[in-house]
Structure 1
Amino acid sequence: MSAAPEDVVTLPGGRVRPVDLSHPLGPTPSEPAPPQIARTSHTDGAQLWEHWYGIPAGALPLGAGFAGEVVTASTHAGTHVDAPWHYAATAEGAPAWTIDEVPLSWFIGPLVVLDVSDLRTGELITPALIDARLRAIGHALTPGDVVAFRTGADRLWGRTEFWEHGSGLGRDAVLHLVDSGVRLIGTDAWSLDRPYPRIGEEWRTTGDPDRLWPAHFAGADRRYCQIEKLARLDELPPTGATITCFPIKVAAGSGAWARATALVPV
Structure 2
Amino acid sequence: MRIIDLSDTLRPETSPFEVNRHEISYVSHEEGLRMAEQVLKVPKSLEQDLFPEGHAWAVENITLSTHSGTHVDAPYHYGPVSGTAPARTIDQLPLEWFFSDGVVLNMTHKRRGEPIGERDVEKELGRIGYTLKPLDIVLVRTDTSEHFGEPGYDLMHPGLTRGAVQFLVEQGVRVVGIDAWGLDRPFDVMVEEVKAGRKGAFWEAHFFGKEHEYCQIEKLSNLKAIPRPFGFKVACFPVKIARASAGWTRAVAIINDAASEERPGR
Normalising by structure 1, we get a TM-score of: 0.90
Gap regions ≥5 residues in structure 2 = 258-266
Extract unaligned runs of 5+ from structure 1: 1-15
Does the CA-based 8 Å contact 1:183-1:225 persist in structure 2? yes
* Match for residue 214 of structure 2 among 218, 224, 229: 224
Partner Cα separation in structure 2 for residue 91 and residue 161 of structure 1: 32
Q: What is the Cα deviation at residue 32 of structure 1? A: 4.6
The 8 Å contact of residues 108 and 246 in structure 1, kept in 2 or not, is answered as yes
Provide TM-score, normalisation by structure 2: 0.90
Match of 2:263 in 1: none
**Aligned equivalents of 1:47 and 1:207: distance in 2?**
60
Matched residue, 1:119: 110
Write the distance in 1 (CA, Å) between the matches of 2:192 and 2:68. Answer: 23
CA distance in 1, matches of 2:115, 2:93: 28
Q: Does 1:54 align with 2:46?
A: no
Partner of 1:41: 28
C-alpha deviation, 1:257, in angstroms: 0.7
Kept after mapping to 1: 8 A contact 2:194/2:200: no
Counterpart for residue 215 of structure 1: 205
Q: How far apart are 1:197 and its partner, in Å?
A: 2.1
Asked if 1:89 is matched to 2:80, the reply is yes
RMSD: 1.4
SS of alignment partner, residue 92 of structure 2? coil
Query: Percent of aligned positions with the same letter in both sequences?
Result: 42
Q: Which residue number corresponds to residue 254 of structure 2?
A: 263
- CA deviations on 1:35-94 (whole Å, 9 max, x unpaired) are 211111112222122223134332324432111111111110110000000001011210
Give the equivalent residue in structure 2 for 1:17: 2
Q: Is the 8 A contact 2:71 2:238 kept in 1?
A: yes
What is the total number of aligned residue pairs between the two structures?
A: 250
Distance 2:21 2:252 in 1: 23
- Counterpart of 1:25, as a letter, is L
Counterparts of residues 1-266 of structure 1 (less than 5 Å): 16-27=1-12, 28=14, 29-52=16-39, 53-56=41-44, 57-62=47-52, 63-204=54-195, 206-236=196-226, 237-266=228-257
CA distance in 2 between partners of 1:179 and 1:126 (Å): 14
